Structure 1
Amino acid sequence: MKPQKASDIRKFSEEELHEMLASTQEALMMRNFEKALSQLENPSQIRILRKDIARIKTVLRERNVKI
């Protein structure tokens, strides 16, 4: 799983960002579940997903504040 750049995320519409946020949060939940069951193959996926969620939320916040 490759991390997304903020510049790439800014190209999406607000609706697409909300969908992307929901799917990324769901993926993070699944990775945490796998981690709890000791089935996670690549622990760095959790870190990548958390950072992607932060980037998406940052872009959404920028649009709300209109920076």
Structure 2
Amino acid sequence: MVLPTDRTERREHAGPWVRQLNIDEMREELSGTLAQIKVKAPQVLAALGIAAVSGAIFAAARLMSRERDDRIQ
């Protein structure tokens, strides 16, 4: 018997070896996805850190300018 290449078509022939093949393919896909996440996570965290610091600086600058405006008036 020739095994269909599409995982959804294999459900008709759901023997134990077909289920194991589906599980193995899903593990490979998950492994690839996790590898991509591990590569991208540091970049995303660095960008979030930069954004947080920038936001804090912006907020502090606005507060300081308000205080200066209050002193002038």
- TM-score bucket (shorter structure): 0.3 to 0.5
Q: Which has the higher contact order (CA 8 A, sep 6+)?
A: 1
Q: Which has the larger radius of gyration?
A: 2
> Which structure has more helix as a fraction of its residues?
2
